Amino acid sequence: MENVWKKYKDEDINRLSEICDDYRKFLSISKIEREVIKNSILIAEQRGFVDLNTYIKENKKLEVGDKIYVNNRNKSLALFVIGREDITNGINILGAHVDSPRLDLKANPLYEENEFAYLDTHYYGGIKKYQWVTIPLALHGVVVKKNGEVMDVVIGEDERDPVIGITDLLPHLGKEQMKKEASVVIEGEGLDVLIGSMPCEETEEDSKKEDLVKRNILNILKNKYNMDEDDFLSAEIEVVPAGRARDFGLDRSMIMAYGQDDKVCAYSSLRAFLDCPTCDKTISCILVDKEEIGSVGATGMCSTFYENALLEICNLLGHPENVALARCLSNSYMLSSDVNAAYDPLYSDVMDKRNASYFNQGVVFCKYTGSRGKSGSNDANAEYVAKLRNIMDRNSVYFQISELGKVDAGGGGTIAYILANKNVNVIDCGVGVLSMHAPWEVTAKADIYEAYKCYIAFLKEA
Ligand code: MN
Ligand code: MN
């Protein structure tokens, strides 16, 4: 394989830069699943997409070219453009997840210790805990008041905002700490975020003069968000690295950002889907939550929300019978778009060089993921892989086929198996990442561009 930069003409480089600039901007304001879904709906509505519920309420029939979206609890989204062919012939689906590893606030997070105020956290997804200390962190999420009022919280992203963070021990006193295994150098209960050190003024009627620092923080939250300590009970606040997505490398060939697993695939899928003209087949894009903890729950891919949406769509197309949905699913194709561990020369011992994915060699297909004996993997059919090779070559999309690391080195899963279990043809397909699951992950712009090209070719021709 050759580095794809060598093959690019000026128009490729211009298009690549345009898409990657937009991606960086999108990432910087879409760090958590709720923000991705909110911003995706905004873009989709600008392009003429309408909430499926409007059709359902008015029992309005769907027609060729109609653009609809289904918002599942502000954390997952399914979009559809109705094609010219009957839906029972199957649809072409792009699916990616929008949640990323992070620290969630516990239900009772706020406490004071030695005149420091802290937020107690519970980590979400697979993280190396030691990577989360001594970096600037931000708070993103929502507080829902008892009356149902939802307040968006973002602190730490504006230049004028303060940041917060987790402290580490100085090396001078770290002799015992440095003997520990990396998995316990920093432990889960040690990931408490320092958020304040200034006491509030004591009032006359103050009988107990304790927790003044914590009370000062509560005053700040009251002023800014009209929030009481109890309101943490019905909040979802995530602690994520503070700061924008950046060009990476002196040649600007890469992007460094938080949460590129899997927003790099989510953004390129959404962008390709929206840029795709009406096709023969109905096309769909799924942006889904909870992949990092097993795709569980109402907003994860294992939920029936996507199937239910398809059932509603079949109904509005004049196919109320269940058999229509069954036929639609069995005839459908999907790219489960998720990131792949790109070859890193600094960690070559866990990679199989002949079956690894490489930066700047294009979009990555992964016939199977899983761990050990392919456990938990979706193993795509050779016939489907052949069909895709053909589509990619016809559309001059540069691609590579890889595994995730050496056979016994570990492994991982994606959402691929879930729709495959519904009898959809599914293969894993995505962008290579360095430092995956670290606070700041790195991707290659050329691979993002090839993923975008791949998704458009797939939607049109699968
Ligand atoms: Mn992923
Ligand atoms: Mn992941």
Output the pLDDT for position 208: 67
Q: What is the whole-number distance in angstroms between the Cα of residue 402 and the centre of ligand 2?
A: 17
Judged against a pLDDT cut of 90, whether residue 202 lies above it is answered with no
Q: What is the whole-number distance in angstroms between the Cα of residue 43 and the centre of ligand 1?
A: 23
Angle at which helix 260-275 crosses helix 33-46, to 10 degrees, equals: 10
Output the pLDDT for position 347: 96
Judged against a pLDDT cut of 90, whether residue 130 lies above it is answered with yes
Output the pLDDT for position 206: 59
pLDDT tens string 316-366: 999 999 999 999 999 999 999 999 999 999 999 999 999 999 999 999 999
Output the pLDDT for position 368: 87
Tell whether the torsion through CA atoms of 72, 77, 83 and 86 is positive or negative.
negative
Average pLDDT over residues 368-396: 92
Output the pLDDT for position 43: 98
Q: What is the whole-number distance in angstroms between the Cα of residue 437 and the centre of ligand 2?
A: 6
Judged against a pLDDT cut of 90, whether residue 151 lies above it is answered with yes
Q: What is the whole-number distance in angstroms between the Cα of residue 260 and the centre of ligand 1?
A: 9
Q: What is the whole-number distance in angstroms between the Cα of residue 336 and the centre of ligand 1?
A: 10
pLDDT tens string 255-310: 999 999 999 999 999 999 999 988 999 999 999 999 999 999 999 999 999 999 99
Which ligand sits nearest to residue 97's alpha carbon?
1
Q: What is the whole-number distance in angstroms between the Cα of residue 227 and the centre of ligand 1?
A: 34
Question: Strand 411-412 relative to strand 370-371: parallel, antiparallel, unpaired?
Answer: antiparallel
Output the pLDDT for position 326: 97
Residue 91's nearest CA partner among 283, 277, 319 is 283
Q: What is the whole-number distance in angstroms between the Cα of residue 112 and the centre of ligand 2?
A: 33
Q: What is the whole-number distance in angstroms between the Cα of residue 7 and the centre of ligand 1?
A: 29
Which ligand sits nearest to residue 288's alpha carbon?
1
Q: How confident is the model at residue 408 (pLDDT cuts 50, 70, 90)?
A: confident
Measured in degrees and rounded to the nearest 5, phi and psi for residue 84 equal -80, -30
Question: Strand 50-51 relative to strand 246-248: parallel, antiparallel, unpaired?
Answer: unpaired
The neighbourhood of ligand 2, an ion, using CB within 5 A, equals 261
Average pLDDT over residues 451-462: 98
pLDDT tens string 85-120: 999 999 999 999 999 999 999 999 999 999 999 999
pTM: 0.96
Measured in degrees and rounded to the nearest 5, phi and psi for residue 370 equal 80, 180
Q: What is the whole-number distance in angstroms between the Cα of residue 364 and the centre of ligand 1?
A: 13
Q: How confident is the model at residue 207 (pLDDT cuts 50, 70, 90)?
A: low
Output the pLDDT for position 255: 98
Q: What is the whole-number distance in angstroms between the Cα of residue 293 and the centre of ligand 1?
A: 10
Which ligand sits nearest to residue 338's alpha carbon?
1
The two three-digit tokens of residue 300, written as one number? 């994860």
Q: What is the whole-number distance in angstroms between the Cα of residue 260 and the centre of ligand 2?
A: 9
What structural domains and CATH numbers belong to the chain? 4-100+258-461 (3.40.630.10), 102-241 (2.30.250.10)
In the predicted model, what is the mean pLDDT of the chain? 95
Which ligand sits nearest to residue 262's alpha carbon?
1
Average pLDDT over residues 381-403: 96
What are the C-alpha distances in Å from 315 to residues 69, 101, 280, 330? Answer: 16, 37, 19, 17
Q: What is the whole-number distance in angstroms between the Cα of residue 55 and the centre of ligand 2?
A: 35
d(CA 313, CA 55): 9
Measured in degrees and rounded to the nearest 5, phi and psi for residue 229 equal -60, -40
Q: What is the whole-number distance in angstroms between the Cα of residue 327 and the centre of ligand 2?
A: 32
Average pLDDT over residues 224-250: 96
Q: What is the whole-number distance in angstroms between the Cα of residue 319 and the centre of ligand 2?
A: 37
